[in-house]
Structure 1
Amino acid sequence: MKKQEYDHEALLRLAAMKMPFGRYAGYRLVDLPEPYVVWFAQQGFPAGKLGQALAAVYEIKVNGLEYLFAPLK
């Protein structure tokens, strides 16, 4: 079985990325409240890099993996 490779730089970028608009403007995406991220998932994520990042944060939060970002903050 082949070992899965991870893009560590992408994880660091995701940890640093901030919400550019709305009620939580300026918050890091990984620090957004889970209900807010779930709402985006239900309504549809925005297009582009922000939407991709929010989708990744959604998967992280619903799977209880926020602890992975603790050392990166």
Structure 2
Amino acid sequence: MTNQPLGDPKVLIDIVRTEMPFGKYQGRKLCDVPTYYLEWFYAQGWPKGRIGVLLETLFVIRTEGLHEILDELKRRYGQDR
């Protein structure tokens, strides 16, 4: 992963709390954005900044079959607190 800052545990929580700020899925939680949309970013290039880090991390979680961890994170942190 190119954008991932090492050792930032908040990344996973932010994936379930942050809304997509632009595009077709604007307003939807990042964790609910379809995989094909992430694949498009993978091919075209990740957005700059924090949103790119979050989307790239989510892509890795999905492609490595680790999506179950998102279910637990949604239960714990999915609601804005």
Give your verdict on TM over 0.5: yes
1:11 and 1:53 map into 2 onto residues whose CA distance is 8
- Measured after TM superposition, the shift of residue 10 of structure 1 is 3.1
Give unpaired runs (5+ residues) of structure 1: 1-5
2:20 and 2:13 map into 1 onto residues whose CA distance is 15
| Deviates further, 39-48 or 11-20 | 11-20
**In structure 1, what is the equivalent of residue 58 of structure 2?**
57
**In structure 1, what is the equivalent of residue 14 of structure 2?**
13
- Aligned partner letter, 2:71: A
Q: Which has the higher contact order (CA 8 A, sep 6+)?
A: 2
Q: Specify which structure has the higher proportion of helix.
A: 1
**In structure 2, what is the equivalent of residue 3 of structure 1?**
none
1:19 and 1:56 map into 2 onto residues whose CA distance is 14
- Measured after TM superposition, the shift of residue 31 of structure 1 is 1.1
Whether 1:42 and 2:43 are equivalent positions in the alignment is yes
Question: Do the aligned residues in 2 keep the contact of 1:45 with 1:51 (CA within 8 Å)?
Answer: yes
- Measured after TM superposition, the shift of residue 30 of structure 1 is 1.3
| Deviates further, 9-18 or 60-69 | 9-18
Identity rate, percent: 37
Q: How many residues align?
A: 68
Structure number with greater Rg is: 1
Question: Do the aligned residues in 1 keep the contact of 2:14 with 2:54 (CA within 8 Å)?
Answer: no
| Deviates further, 12-21 or 51-60 | 12-21
2:9 and 2:59 map into 1 onto residues whose CA distance is 18
Q: TM-score, normalised by structure 1?
A: 0.81
